[in-house]
Chain A
Amino acid sequence: EEQVVESGGGLIQPGGSLRLSCAASGFSVNFNYMTWVRQAPGKGLEWVSVVDTDGTTYYADSVKGRFTISRDNSNNTLFLQMDSLTAEDTAVYYCARDQGYIYGLDVWGQGTTVTVSS
């Protein structure tokens, strides 16, 4: 079964850093585009970032320069390094496999919660 499981969320002070992990099973992260999506409390879904199979990355303007997406092929894991966090980054963060044109985001994790507060 293809699945992803996120971890690494928690309570962090404004200005702090956090690294989220997304462990994949049933497929390889290095052969797939992988994406992060977030959802602030009571709000809609917001696409955050993607890494493609060549290692090219894209970011939402709201996180550009502060977040870094990466992957560890040997451990089949996706990461999201989040720096200079603000209260506006408080959200549930979902990892998803991105099948691109036509197919979109198909495999989603259960999410990990990040709370930025003093």
Chain B
Amino acid sequence: DIQMTQSPSSLSASLGAGVTITCRASQGIRNDLGWYQQKPGKAPKRLIYAASILQSGVPSRFSGSGSGTEFTLTINSLQPEDSATYYCLQHNSYPYTFGQGTKLEIK
């Protein structure tokens, strides 16, 4: 099974600042990776697919990069509504695996 190691597990950043979240795969997954945002009591929402393609309707302050084993999600100009938990998901092979999640707090 492919292991996804996501870091950090939590972070706190100021309004208007930028943050980066990283996911590392235990083996190469090409660009078969998505980033999801989840708010309490809600279903996950896809932000990025194919590692770097922005889901329609998602603000352009979100961006993704990477290929193979190293991936990043960057959020610029943080807004209050960005407070959430973020997960990466590898969908290269079954069983699909998620990163452990990153809880983002906006100060």
Contacts and interface: CB of A to CB of B under 8 A. Distances in A.
Interface in A52-77: 58-61
A23 interface: no
Interface stretch (B10-18, B20-28, B69-77, B92-100): B92-100
Interface residues of A, number: 24
A98 B46 contact: no
Contacts of A106: 46, 49
Contacts of B105: none
A110 B38 CA distance: 11
B45 interface: yes
Contact of A101 (B36, B91, B95): B91
Contact of A102 (B32, B45, B97): B32
B106 interface: no
B31 interface: yes
Nearest to B87: A45
A108 B95 contact: no
Contacts of B31: 102
B87 A44 contact: yes
Interface string B21-60: 0000000001111101010001111100110000000000
Interface residues of B, number: 26
B46 A58 contact: no
A60 B32 contact: no
B91 A108 contact: no
A58 B94 contact: yes
Which secondary structure dominates where chain B touches chain A?
loop
Contacts of B33: 104
Nearest to B29: A101
A111 B38 CA distance: 13
Interface of B: 30-34, 36, 38, 42-46, 49-50, 87, 89, 91-92, 94-101
29 contacts: A35-B96, A44-B98, A44-B101, A45-B36, A45-B44, A45-B87, A45-B89, A45-B101, A47-B89, A47-B96, A47-B97, A47-B98, A60-B95, A61-B95, A98-B91, A101-B32, A101-B92, A102-B31, A103-B34, A103-B91, A104-B33, A104-B34, A105-B44, A105-B46, A108-B43, A108-B45, A108-B46, A109-B43, A111-B43
